[in-house]
Amino acid sequence: MIFFAYKLLNDKIILTSKKRLIMRLLACLFILFAFLFSEEKVVAGVAITVNGDPITLYEIKEMQQKNKITKQQAIDMLVAEKIKNQEIKRLRIDVSDSRIQNEILDMASRSNLSKDVFLKKVKQQEGLNAEEFAKKLKEQIQTQELMRSILSNNSAGEDEMREYYNLHQDEFNIPKEVVVVRYSSNKMETLQEAIKTPNTPIAGVERAQEKISTDTLPPQIAQVFASTKTNHFTTILNGGGGMFMAFLIKEKNGEEIVPYQQAKNFIAQKLAEKRQDKILEDYFEKIKQKASIIKLRD
């Protein structure tokens, strides 16, 4: 009887051991499968670090395919993006959730839509849900704030602005009233397409004729209208809330010269726009030179 009980116990131990062995084998197979899957997507394959922040082989490949560019171009773009994000963090450029929601409400209002309907349209057109769209909008605003911060520290001097004012007097003859056609869209590319073919209706672009008194406008905007010829478009302006606008000037009525002191901000912005690409390129190139960029694998 004791022998029989002992045999049962021994068989049970053996069976338990076999079960444990099988479980361990299954666990090993699962780990191996997970490893092979990750290798296929190369998610864990860190190729480069930028000040300690990783860029994976998968990210590089994804960037190549998405933008149809070479591997090196994809690497350059990802490195630049890392440096930009690190600068946003270093300068503590933050955008609150309440501001994002207000921006979305403003965008919906400009499109004469409720917030819910507007977000449904975003989902249909861009494939982004509300959370993804809010995240994208936050990144755009943070980037704009960073650019503004960089450019504000590279403003033109008094002598340069005064010289510009004296040499471009025609830009400071401000009409008292302008008749315009306002073109607006929440997509820069769509608005640019509409500007190229102004008489062709384009989905996503709203058009409205307006008569504007320039004394109701900020001086910088009034001077944009003044410097734009009749039957030409102004530069594309940021209308806030993710909206972009351009104005086709139809008529200008009455003129008056804007004093230099009122024109200073406009001149500073104009000169910054002329050289902003060079300023931004130099700024990020200096940071890139100082950055710790380590290549781990090809």
The predicted pLDDT at position 20 comes to 56
Contact (CB, 8 A) for 202 and 193? yes
Burial 121-130 (b: 16+ CB within 10 A, else e): ebeeeeebeb
The predicted pLDDT at position 24 comes to 60
DSSP for residue 151? H
The span from the CA of 238 to the CA of 160, in Å, is 26
Q: Is residue 13 over pLDDT 60?
A: no
What's the whole-number mean pLDDT along residues 27-32? 50
Say which residue, 110 or 54, is predicted with more confidence: 54
The span from the CA of 138 to the CA of 95, in Å, is 6
Crossing angle (nearest 10°) for helices 130-152 and 115-126: 90
What's the whole-number mean pLDDT along residues 128-133? 91
DSSP for residue 169? G
What's the whole-number mean pLDDT along residues 271-298? 85
Q: Is residue 289 over pLDDT 60?
A: yes
Burial 79-97 (b: 16+ CB within 10 A, else e): bebbbbbbbbeeeebebee
Say which residue, 136 or 241, is predicted with more confidence: 136
Q: What percent of the chain has pLDDT over 70?
A: 85
The predicted pLDDT at position 52 comes to 92
The span from the CA of 93 to the CA of 95, in Å, is 7
Contact (CB, 8 A) for 240 and 106? yes
- Rounded to the nearest integer, the mean pLDDT of the chain is 81
The span from the CA of 134 to the CA of 152, in Å, is 27
The predicted pLDDT at position 5 comes to 40
pLDDT tens column, 72-125: 999 999 999 999 999 999 999 999 999 999 989 888 887 777 889 889 988 888
Determine phi and psi for 93, rounding to 5 degrees: -85, 105
- Pick from 122, 123, 138: which is nearest to 88 by CA? 138
